[in-house]
Chain A
Amino acid sequence: MRLSRTWISALFALWATTDVAVGYEGSTTLAGVTEQAALSSRLHRRMVERFGLSLGMFEPLRLDPSLLQIDRARNLYVRLSALDAGQGHAPEVLARKEGQSLSPLRQHVLGWLAAGSVLETTPAVRVRHHFVDGKTGAGLHRLSDMTAISASAESVQQGISSVRQLLSGAAMDGTGRSATEWITASDNDLGLPAFWDAYERAVTAQTTVARETALTEALLSLGGLLAVLEQAGDPAYVHNDLQSVLSGHYAHFVGQRYGRAGVPQPDAKLDVPSPQRFADLLFDGKGQGLSERTASRFVSPGTISPSLIPQGSKLFGVGGYLSSSTVKHFLAWQKSDTEPGGRVLFLDERCYTDYATALLPEIGKFAQVGLDFLLRGDLRLSLASESGLTVKLLDEQLGSGTLTVLGEKASGERQVFKTQATLPSRPGVLTQVPLSEEALTDFVRLAVLWKGRDRNGQPVVTSSVLSLRKSESVPSPAASQTETSEPSQ
């Protein structure tokens, strides 16, 4: 009996059309916050300095699925093809060439980044790993009155897991890894390990298209990491409130009110210190992480309790609002004859408006700091006949690492010149690499990749390019090649 009930429940779920969201909507809110954070960050200059992309954030980049492992290629292709072209982050489908089973995709840097934020919520079951308790840092966990079976059935009913997942035991069972673990998980295709790996290939891969493809992967990962961070600005995610995440009233309200393009800019006045680890932006145990800030000042529908009313305060009339030090409409209340205590507490649209007005600029600021942090360690290159290549470190104090110097031919092909270890360094000259002018005659550009750890022992991957043509304004590989896109869909 239980089996058939689950079946019917699941099948009806396929037909359901209720407004359910999974935290902030990927296509609108998360993508919009990521875009605004990027505009306020150093991303544009870093794309110019590190990859020679003259249009910076607006440089078009190709992703060639034929260069990826087949499973990875299909998975990414399906998820990218699903994106809403009306929001601007769906890549353009280019004409296939011989030997390509999937069409190459093209999008500009900012578009790939925003697409990564949307991809982090697809498939929806990924959001089980976006929870981080603002008090303990723990991930999604079941409440005592919920079993794994009932949670799995509920997740199918809400459309967060599929019937197939339910039958194979892979449906969401009401638990998940903490967001701080998820961002470093090896099975997270948009996590930190994936980002570092893709970044390295974006500099060292032999061909232009392989480097572009790798850079798009790195940008997708960056967007995904930012999306996980941004979810920590949703009260439901930091209060272990799965029901509110699934009901999605707040998230849907924010999506409707701001869309993607109306998300406010990051709060420039908010001081968010650069973290020691990216995970610290989510939860640092000292109250400065976004999850802690959100949890300490905002509630979600599932965590409303009479204890939120300050002791000794009396509520007059038939209804109204409670204020907090952060928002005017913290909580709505109404007189009720049926509820214990004679009143019912809830969140309405005025509360949602105040919450979003306070939270979105703050989330944007955290995302901006996170983006700048992940791309820290700026290098600048200079070449002199007597000293060879000088690599100068601009911002971060770095630990030991490895520097790889590559030469790029006019055809775009890169080859490794040298690889050498570097010692810990403060901003200033990081190292000098002897290079004779004769050795560089066939090359139009130098690129370096530095891989190592920062002063806190955290992994860093960074790079820079130097044009060897006197008058060259660093041509952009993508812009210099024309391709026809497939006819309008």
Chain B
Amino acid sequence: MRRCLGLGLAFGLLSLSALSGCMGPVAKAPFAGRLGSGQVGSLLGPFDGQVLDQSTSSPLTSALVVGTWAFEEPGGLASPESSYSVSVVTGSDGNYSLPSLPAGRQFAGLLRRFTLVVYKAGFVGYRSDLRFDDRSPRHDFVQRGNVVRLERFPQGESHAKHLVFLGSGAALRGAAQSEIIAASLELQETAPQLAAEQTETAAAKESH
């Protein structure tokens, strides 16, 4: 009798899960809904904002904006389940707008995080979770009316580290082709040498 009760409850829970659709739980967003509002944002979206040139405050056109929703296994494990990305480019007013996570993409797993990446060649890219300058957590990202100020890429800054910071989705890789080549050339100069090259470099320095 007890076993039957247990199995019945189990079946009931599974049925409820199936009837409730595929939408799984959603983690608490680490960002606000709007700047200055005490209201917590929603990982589901939508997201919008404006991309500006830090030095002139003028809108930046054709900046690539990639939003990614990441799901993890239900049961709370920090084990990836799936992700979904949407990319847009800013218009002449520098504005971007990403829709809410489509219903068809609301997986059964835990919606763990939303990450916004903004890239424009010649500028330091933007991540919604971390700052590039000191790699500290970013606290100024907001869901609606977000303002992204991109600094000009400083001379001497590492392109390789910049690309690693941003991460590489297909859209980003397409937009950052010239920087990928620059990063590769940079590593040819700066990456640790092989043993023989070290010997050769030392010998050259000695003879010099």
Q: In the complex, what's the smallest C-beta–C-beta distance from A270 to chain B, in angstroms?
A: 15
What's the dominant secondary structure at chain A's contact region?
mixed
Q: In whole angstroms, what is the CA distance A87 to B85 when docked?
A: 11
Query: Would you call B3 an interface residue if the criterion is a C-beta within 8 Å of the partner chain's C-beta atoms?
Result: yes
Contact A158 B188 (CB under 8 A): no
Query: Would you call B21 an interface residue if the criterion is a C-beta within 8 Å of the partner chain's C-beta atoms?
Result: no
The residue that B80 contacts in the complex, of A18, A122, A261, A395, with Cβ under 8 A, is A122
Residues in B neighbouring A56, C-beta threshold 8 A: 184, 187-188, 191
Of all chain B residues, the one with the shortest Cβ separation from A395 is B195
The 0/1 profile, CB within 8 Å of A marked 1, for residues 179-194 of chain B is 0110110011001111
Number of B positions contacting A (CB below 8 A):
70
The residue that B136 contacts in the complex, of A20, A35, A85, A262, with Cβ under 8 A, is A262
Contact B137 A257 (CB under 8 A): yes
Q: In whole angstroms, what is the CA distance A87 to B99 when docked?
A: 20
Q: In whole angstroms, what is the CA distance A15 to B25 when docked?
A: 8
Contact A41 B192 (CB under 8 A): yes
Q: In the complex, what's the smallest C-beta–C-beta distance from B60 to chain A, in angstroms?
A: 21
The 0/1 profile, CB within 8 Å of B marked 1, for residues 1-32 of chain A is 10111011001111111111110011100000
Q: In the complex, what's the smallest C-beta–C-beta distance from B98 to chain A, in angstroms?
A: 12
Contact B2 A1 (CB under 8 A): yes
Contact A86 B167 (CB under 8 A): yes
Contact B14 A17 (CB under 8 A): no
Residues in A neighbouring B173, C-beta threshold 8 A: 60, 92, 108
Query: Would you call B168 an interface residue if the criterion is a C-beta within 8 Å of the partner chain's C-beta atoms?
Result: yes
Q: How many residue pairs bridge A and B at CB < 8 Å?
A: 223
Q: Looking at the complex, which of B5-13, B31-39, B45-53, B144-152 is the stretch in contact with chain A?
A: B5-13
The residue that A86 contacts in the complex, of B117, B184, B192, with Cβ under 8 A, is B117
Of all chain B residues, the one with the shortest Cβ separation from A20 is B76
Query: Would you call A89 an interface residue if the criterion is a C-beta within 8 Å of the partner chain's C-beta atoms?
Result: yes
Query: Which A residues form the contact surface with B (CB < 8 A)?
Result: 1, 3-5, 7-8, 11-22, 25-27, 35-36, 39-46, 48-49, 54-60, 81-90, 92, 106-108, 110-111, 118, 121-124, 158-160, 248, 251-252, 255-262, 264, 378, 380, 392, 394-395, 427, 485, 488-489
Query: Which B residues form the contact surface with A (CB < 8 A)?
Result: 2-3, 5-7, 9-10, 13-14, 17, 25, 27, 30, 66, 68-70, 73-87, 105, 110, 113-115, 117, 127, 129-130, 135-137, 160-161, 163-173, 180-181, 183-184, 187-188, 191-197
